[in-house]
Structure 1
Amino acid sequence: MAAGRRIPPNFFSIPFGFAGLGNTWIVAGLSGHVPTWIGNALLALAALTWLAVLLAYAAYVLPRPRALVDDARDPVAGAFLSLAVVTPLLLAAQGVVPHAPGVGRVLVDVFLILTLLFGGWITGQWIYGRIDVDQIHPGYFLPTVAGGFIASAAASAVGQRTLADVMLGLGFICWLVLGSLILNRLFVGSPLPAPLVPTLAIEVAPSAVAALALFARNGGRVDIWVTLVSGYGLLLVLAQIRLLPLYLRLRFAPGFWAFTFAWAAVATTALHWITAGKPPGHRVYPYLVLAAVSALIGGIAVRSVVAAAQGRFLPPPAPPAGPDR
């Protein structure tokens, strides 16, 4: 990524998607279906991608002191900035804790605090700032709903049960509040502009990530709470079928990375259900799930590389910084 080129906050969706896919393969590996090194390799790729995006974003904002503030305050793009801290939180819990528990716990605590601080700040910004209802989109789930549930699962991974419950409650309440607001906007507001249409895929994520947080808390059992959130998740997954014509009309853009973590979370939840329930065909289903989600995310990654090689992935160069920048 060229230094000084504008790096939109939604570029942090790229490592987030790889981290989600890595988590899917880790869960499959722990169930004995595939080697665990594949999931670890994907988590390492996610970590390297996160670092690359972070450095590129820093190269853009450091010479422009107002750029970071403007991005954080942006009612459309600001929510994606949360992934700069949520992604390493997930990576610490899944990729570091199993191999270096002490280091992993420190990283989980640091990024959990940063996730909570950003979630609080952006919630205050949404209260304080003036947001047009047509600027709201499913990406609003990312800072506090995805952040809360991932923080809960991460806290469970390091044995902090009370903290896990606190963050689980944060995620659930924010899901109820923001979910109502977002669906109201989608039901009765104007259609989303084309660049934001892929964020509709994020609608499948809250129930899946909530289920993953519950699985982390209860040791992978399908209890009443997992069943309840999964029922709603099934509805939203089926609703995506009706959205296929809308997706198929889109031209490829970086926003397609919104599909990646959402569907990786659904796939990971499905693997937990298959492992716990062992339905007929349970030895085959995990491979079908892994193939489908890997093809989706791999296809988006390949399209991204092609677009970057053709100079169509990054936004146009930013204008020179003025004297007040």
Structure 2
Amino acid sequence: MLRLHTPELAEYRVESGASASERGAFPGRVPAAFFAIAVGLFGLGNDWRAAAGLWRLPSVIGEVAMVLGTLLSMTLTVLYAAKWVWARESAREEWSHPVQCCFVGLMPASWQLAGLALRPYGPAVANTLFWIGVAGYVAFMVDRIATLWSGGRNPLATTPVLYLPAVAGSFITSIVAAAFGYPTIATISFGAGFFSWLALESVLLHRLLVHEPLDGRLVPTLGIQLAPPTVGCVAYLGITTGPADPFALMLFGYGLLQALVLVRLTPRFVRQPFAPSFWAFSFGAASLALAAVRIAARSDGHTGITRLAIGLFVAANVVVGAILVRTILLVVRGRLLPPAPIAVSAVGFTPPS
């Protein structure tokens, strides 16, 4: 049986068989949660691609973000594979961790987004990346959901990262499938993500309402709350045509509500020392802006939604840009990775045999 400790987005320790040398090895210190950085860059790149088409903004900014996201996704994939070779116990610990395991699903999701990034330049390679990402994501999603259905989960380990296995990846699959011309797959994936979101939303709100407040280092994961309605809205717009219908606007409205709640919680966020965990805000913020830009593009020049889209586009750039700058400062100072795993308070979890 593994005894786990309160999870932290980018740093953790599990009391098990991993040796100190394994945990200290470079591959063992790179968490799967870092795929959130690549996903955030893809989100920003998609914003700029859409804005360049609607407002004639420079396209190069979006392409640079897409290239950076692709390079980071591939680099992290190599490092994750290396972890299973040279730091296997650390990899197993991460896979069995009630929070850290969910971020592994961002790896195949990032492959799909890399395919979307490369589509204008190499359609065959892009299509291959998409299908590999779909296969990897579906396998991961089924495994994680089966684990959740097996029970034994401590409520305190229930955080917004639970959206990642079934909701976020399904919506991303829907977005990319629609862009690649697979409307049926896009619609099926949207359904998988949407109904999973409805099921999980009440579970997460119940945990936030009646249990202890999130551990300080887990507070930034609240940024993931913004992702389901906003990424879902982008996905829904991808499987429909014409002006945004009432359901698209309802998804967008719920996304705006989540954004306003997160703004209200800003004092709580700024009290936390900056860490890579703040990338949890990036994809939701970028998707809110992307949804607004796409609604504006299909609204026949409605000035109100256009102004809102401009404001949200600027806000997304500020949010992701600020997180990126702070992350670069961590790299420069040699503090992106912890020198050693840190201990945190206990929650029990026994993965099914």
Q: TM-score, normalised by structure 1?
A: 0.90
Aligned to 1:37: 60
Question: 1 CA distance for matches of 2:305 and 2:229?
Answer: 22
Matched AA of 2:263: I
Change (3 A) 1:4 1:97: closer
83, 89, 96: which one pairs with 1:60? Answer: 83
Aligned to 1:7: 30
Q: Any residues of structure 2 matched to 1:232-311 within 5 Å, and which? A: 232-277=254-299, 278-280=301-303, 286-311=309-334
Distance apart, 1:287 and its partner CA: 4.7
| Contact 1:6-1:314 at 8 Å conserved across structures | yes
Distance apart, 1:4 and its partner CA: 4.0
| Contact 2:28-2:91 at 8 Å conserved across structures | no
128, 131, 154: which one pairs with 1:132? Answer: 154
Distance apart, 1:46 and its partner CA: 0.5
Matched AA of 1:74: H
Question: 2 CA distance for matches of 1:34 and 1:104?
Answer: 25
Distance apart, 1:174 and its partner CA: 0.7
Q: Any residues of structure 2 matched to 1:168-179 within 5 Å, and which? A: 168-179=190-201
- Is 1:200 the counterpart of 2:222? The answer is yes
109, 117, 123: which one pairs with 1:86? Answer: 109
Matched AA of 1:77: Q
Aligned to 2:141: 119
Q: TM-score, normalised by structure 2?
A: 0.84
Question: 2 CA distance for matches of 1:35 and 1:312?
Answer: 33
Aligned to 2:13: none
Question: 2 CA distance for matches of 1:306 and 1:97?
Answer: 32
**Percentage of matched positions with identical amino acids:** 32
Matched AA of 2:160: P
51, 62, 74: which one pairs with 2:74? Answer: 51
Unaligned runs of 5+ in 1: 320-325
Report the RMSD for the aligned CA atoms in angstroms.
2.2
Question: 2 CA distance for matches of 1:109 and 1:234?
Answer: 32
Provide Cα deviations, 1:265-289, integer angstroms capped at 9, x if missing partner. Answer: 1111121223233333666655543
- Is 1:213 the counterpart of 2:235? The answer is yes
Distance apart, 1:164 and its partner CA: 1.3
Alignment length (residue pairs): 318
Change (3 A) 1:6 1:101: same
Aligned to 1:143: 165
Provide Cα deviations, 1:99-135, integer angstroms capped at 9, x if missing partner. Answer: 3333322221221121111111111122225210010
